[in-house]
Amino acid sequence: MGLIMNEAGNRFFERQILFGIGRHFWNIVGIFGVVAMTTGAIFFATSTTYEEKSKKDWLLVEHPQSQAAREFEAAEPLHEKYKSECDAARKGNWGLMDSCGALRRSTEHVENSFAPYKDQYEAYKKELKESNAEATARLIAAPPLLLGGLGVVAVVSIVAAVLAIERNTRREESKD
């Protein structure tokens, strides 16, 4: 009698709990795998980092009509001219030494015109640095999430196939 109860208990556990509830458990695990893969793909897609803009480029985008932006644009060709002449003066052409002073004065003038925007530019650089750090973290987290989710889905697929084969090949016992 004890052997019959054990067989009946084993049969109940195997068919009702292990295969019945187990199938649903693996389906839920498979959903977690798909969610992990999707999260990894989203992390990878949103992991773009951006280059820091120069003061001039930032001004032209953020404050295109400002006096400082106009002065940056106007000073750029002069800076190139003064810089090349100043470099020549440093190499021995002393007649161009005035260009070094003009370059310094022009640079100071442009920097002074930029002064009202300095705090905004520093805030932009800080925000960009934080954004790039977050993007880098997402880029590092994306591959393990993608591959882990893919592995979970693969394992769940194999378990689901084994359970389906077991269910479909099970012999029906006659009730005598």
More confident residue, 142 or 62: 142
Span 44-60, mean pLDDT?
A: 86
Tell whether the model's pLDDT for residue 175 goes beyond 70. Answer: no
Radius of gyration, alpha carbons of the chain: 35
3-class SS of residue 117: helix
Q: At what angle do helices 118-169 and 55-62 cross, to 10 degrees?
A: 80
Q: Do residues 86 and 72 touch, judged by C-beta distance below 8 A?
A: no
Q: Can you give the length of the chain in residues?
A: 176
Can you give the residue ranges of every domain in the chain?
Answer: 2-169
Q: Which amino acid is at 139?
A: L
64-120 per-position pLDDT tens digit: 787 777 777 777 766 666 666 676 666 666 666 666 676 677 777 777 777 888 888
Out of 10-14, 105-109, 162-166, 170-174, the most confident range is: 162-166
Confidence of residue 1 (pLDDT cuts 50, 70, 90): very low
Percentage of the chain modeled with pLDDT above 70: 74
Tell whether the model's pLDDT for residue 4 goes beyond 60. Answer: no
Confidence of residue 176 (pLDDT cuts 50, 70, 90): very low
Closest by CA to 38, choosing from 163, 146, 173, 157, is 146
Task: Give the Cα separation of 94 and 59 in Å (integer).
Answer: 36
Task: Give the Cα separation of 53 and 69 in Å (integer).
Answer: 14
Span 152-169, mean pLDDT?
A: 86
Confidence of residue 174 (pLDDT cuts 50, 70, 90): very low
More confident residue, 38 or 176: 38
Q: What is the mean pLDDT of the chain?
A: 80
Task: Give the Cα separation of 143 and 41 in Å (integer).
Answer: 8
